[in-house]
Amino acid sequence: LSRYNDKLNRKLLAVDDLPEGYEVALRTIQAEIDLFCEENIPLLVDEYQCGLNYNRIIGLQTVTWNGEEVTITQLSGIAAQLERPKREEAWRLGSQRVLEDREAINANWIEVLKLRQQIAQNAGYDSYRDYAWLMRGRFDYTPADSETFHAAIEKIVVPAAARVYEHFREQLGVDTLRPWDLNVNPMRATDIDLDPLGRPALTPFADVDTLVAKVQIVFDSVDPELGAYFKQMEQNQMLDLANTRGKAPGAYCTTYPITGSPFIFMNAVGKHNDLQTMLHESGHAFHAFETLNLPYLHQRDYPLEFAEVASMAMELLAAPYLETFYTPEDAARARIEHLQGILLFWPYMAVVDAFQHWAYTHVEEALDPNNCDAKWAELWQRFIVGVDYTGLEEDMKTGWHRKQHIHRSPFYYIEYGLAQLGAVQVWANSLENQTAALTAYRQALSLGGTAKLPDLYSAAGARLAFDADTLNQAVDLVETTIHGLGQV
């Protein structure tokens, strides 16, 4: 497939008179030609196999809880409803099981790091970071911009996240906040999935028919045209939402290339996260609908940094209408938890991204897993302020083992951080003038891949930003909204 894709790319570039609106797509096509290297094909297969091996290692991690064998994820669901001592017991049990695979993950990392460096060198690049930058189509920002973003997050968001952690600690009435006070799944280090006031979990719907009917009301309220898109998906049976026995895990939105119809796949069981996922994936679906006006395949291939603006913005734009599902009190609680999650995510994203910048520019050092542990611990202490890992240093510094993007999708993570900042800007615009904000949002989506990344953000009424001032405005809005809703 790589060989045939390269042949097609070269034939396309040889066309003298390409259609209007192909200029941006040509950058990606040229990059694919520049990166293609026959010698790398077997190495890329080996790299893919390393990713599968990592998945196999993680997938086999189970523990025995109350006499029953459960996965780490299943354990977190069970233990989230338990008292704090039992949550700690579950967290330690799960984390110890992850640590048992330390040597296996280290060995896999050494192999894949060597492969990636060789792939880059074969393609003519000294650093895999330079290779990955082109592979991911990052033409409109640089590694230095990413590092500027890290510094801005440290300055602006880390103190805000620390305030969230401190508020959570106060609600729990504990001396220090421990990792099992956030989430009993040691693979998800910064999520808050536990309610400090001991309230039952939010349950917005009992069945997917109710979910669909009520989400329809939400989208009709956000924008009637978006509501019409969602109605079309329902009528065309493009929604597969219920969790059933034997169904593949996860959630996604894909688009069928012939019909142009988006399709949403989920595993909904009635949790608030299912509702949030529905809103998120629908944002991707609306993106697909808006690009149907573009006639050519490459024009519908938009950058991930903006694709996630479409989805993350929809979560925020729909949030004022959550009373369709909840009482006013529960709707406020759901919105607060979402906004707190935004503040906690940016610092964690910076840890993941900064670790990869270090690893691929210091390959000889990174080939020693002990150095990786030390770098992750350094970054963790820099960005995650307010969670006490005393006595859990081995668990903390092997956090890079627990982030699959590092092992399977190198340099794929900053997209979420940039898009979240863009989404907050779109949301801010909607608070001033919802009609104008939605018009700009939809117009930006309709551009697909015919405009450069900064121009897509601009069309949506936002700015592709890495600076502290823009982050400060976003954080201020998030915190002000949280306080306005009431710190619950």
Tell me the two tokens of residue 440.
């700009």
Tell me the two tokens of residue 188.
């998800």
- List, in order, residues 6 or more apart from 94 with CB less than 8 Å away: 63, 72, 75, 76, 184, 185, 186, 187
pLDDT (tens digit per residue) in 13-41:
999 888 888 999 999 999 999 999 999 99
Q: What proportion of the chain, given as a percentage, has pLDDT over 90?
A: 86
Q: Give the whole-angstrom CA distance, residue 486 versus residue 484.
A: 5
Q: What proportion of the chain, given as a percentage, has pLDDT over 70?
A: 98
Tell me the two tokens of residue 231.
């109605």
Average pLDDT on 248-256 reads: 89
Q: Is the pLDDT of residue 86 over 80?
A: yes
Q: Is the pLDDT of residue 436 over 80?
A: yes
Q: Is the pLDDT of residue 184 over 70?
A: no
Tell me the two tokens of residue 230.
């969602």
In residues, how long is the chain? 488
Q: How confident is the model at residue 487 (pLDDT cuts 50, 70, 90)?
A: low
Nearest to 353 by CA among 479, 466, 474, 464: 466
Q: Give the whole-angstrom CA distance, residue 71 versus residue 60.
A: 8
Q: How confident is the model at residue 73 (pLDDT cuts 50, 70, 90)?
A: confident
pLDDT (tens digit per residue) in 460-472:
999 999 999 999 9
Burial of 293 (0-12, 13-18, 19+ CB in 10 A): exposed
Q: Is the pLDDT of residue 193 over 80?
A: no
Average pLDDT on 348-354 reads: 97
Residue 59 has a pLDDT of 86
Average pLDDT on 247-265 reads: 90
Residue 165 near residue 385, CB atoms below 8 Å: yes
- List, in order, residues 6 or more apart from 475 with CB less than 8 Å away: 156, 157, 160, 343
Average pLDDT on 362-380 reads: 98
Q: Is the pLDDT of residue 246 over 90?
A: no
Residue 439 near residue 447, CB atoms below 8 Å: no
Residue 245 has a pLDDT of 80
Q: How confident is the model at residue 96 (pLDDT cuts 50, 70, 90)?
A: very high
Residue 266 near residue 240, CB atoms below 8 Å: yes
Average pLDDT on 197-204 reads: 87
- List, in order, residues 6 or more apart from 122 with CB less than 8 Å away: 37, 39, 40, 43
Q: Is the pLDDT of residue 488 over 70?
A: no
**Containing H/E element for 65?**
strand 62-65
Average pLDDT on 190-216 reads: 88
Q: What is the mean pLDDT of the chain?
A: 94
SS3 category, 139 = coil
The secondary structure of residue 320, as a DSSP letter, is: G
Q: Put the strands of the sheet holding 252-255 in their side by side order.
A: 239-242, 262-268, 252-255
- Predicted TM-score (pTM) of the model is 0.94
pLDDT (tens digit per residue) in 308-320:
999 999 999 999 9
SS3 category, 315 = helix
Residue 274 near residue 424, CB atoms below 8 Å: no
Average pLDDT on 99-106 reads: 97
pLDDT (tens digit per residue) in 139-172:
999 999 999 999 999 999 999 999 999 999 999 9
Average pLDDT on 322-331 reads: 97
Residue 187 has a pLDDT of 67
Q: Give the whole-angstrom CA distance, residue 13 versus residue 11.
A: 6
CA atoms within 13 A on the CB side of 328: 2
CA atoms within 13 A on the CB side of 18: 15
